[in-house]
Structure 1
């Protein structure tokens, strides 16, 4: 659908729909560039730190897209959504220069189903051969079978939304790490998000993208009031900072609760699978005994 030296946007079959695991997507859908830009600005990526770093600063959390990337991507997503069918999703690949001599690839997909805007990333700033020119199409052999093939293991990052109250679902979780595909997915209640943006823009104000925002505590948020006399933060500054801290801690608690729930779900699945295996084994044992006791059978 669209390709230049740094961006490719295309339609591909949605595997969850074509396999019958989910209902069809609500495509085509009309979303304007401003709406898509708002959503993209709120998408963040959190990576686990090393052992020593985790003791000091915690996970590294940063905006998934720069301002320039959003300006390039949003208009193309708008056009793709207008042409997508109910069995397709919109996929994208972004190339950016790295600090070294090579490049970095970010790849993922978006689709709309019900009130949810689904955002999945399979790669995030993944190092790529500096000699690779342009982004190949979805059916190109280099993309399908070469070094750009999506990884077959879960990514080492989590996709988040800076305004967590609009998040319907967030992956990966313990269950999806064991049973799902190698994508980290986020589902945003985009209808409520856009409705609130129209009624009270200040409630849906998303911080402008930066190249790197460290730690979960300062990762989201809202407008900041000017400092008070003498450069000291006033009461509204301290209140905003406290609210951001509470939101971050609440997010962490919610994620831990979700992981516990997922662990219980895994245990139930494993227990059920074990019981089924036992029943199948008992039936086979009974069948063998019946055959052995039949007249003329070898003893």
Structure 2
């Protein structure tokens, strides 16, 4: 297919350059990204199908796993189709409205994803520290309401950022050295003052990620305190096994996301192509591994998946 014939002087379009310096290797680079994306979609839709069809899994913990699966699908799908179109067909053009829409959806979904991890930490705290009251504290209805609160929080917190970008004047340079419309990558192209964008973006990251990490740390601190009061090694192992999947998902979600966000602001020594590759890895690897982690570490879900595979 012919190259998407746009120039940086086109007043209605931005141009996503892909991975700077590695344009000739885009086709090869697309193979692992496409593979991870497809596996992630299949794995997450499998989780949604099994939990949806098995009434025995209609419990708060599995509802949370389904919410996580939905955010994983949304995060990767908001970025990867456009990324692959750049790699495969050189379709690099994107309008300002399209850029803002992409920015809004993947950032909002990322904040919702973080909120669900907080609810999961609370779920583990109640299951371990108040097991007898678990069914009354965390009902299916209450779990869904907490998820909706997370969606509303994400929309209210992030909505000002696209509006702040829209007010910016953009001059001749409309070349985005990325595969998707990251907030700071777009804002830095402006020939106006982006101080407010920088400050609000940083405050947003500190409030959302900082508060969420503190709440998760508080939940696990209370869990550890409760376990220290129990001398049974068997109880310790059981509690650890119930938390393993959640801890692994946290480790796969927060560090890459923080690196991708903060490197634009502080670490100017990161090569552009490394930053772009790492940012894309953040959008495909957690959605691929999260359902696998929960499928392997959650016995009831693992058994249901095994049953369907055997039927197939």
* Smaller-chain TM-score bracket: under 0.3
- The higher relative CO (CA closer than 8 Å, separation ≥ 6) is in 2
Bigger Cα Rg: 1
Larger fraction in strand: 1
Instruction: Please give the TM-score of this superposition, normalised by the length of structure 1.
Output: 0.26
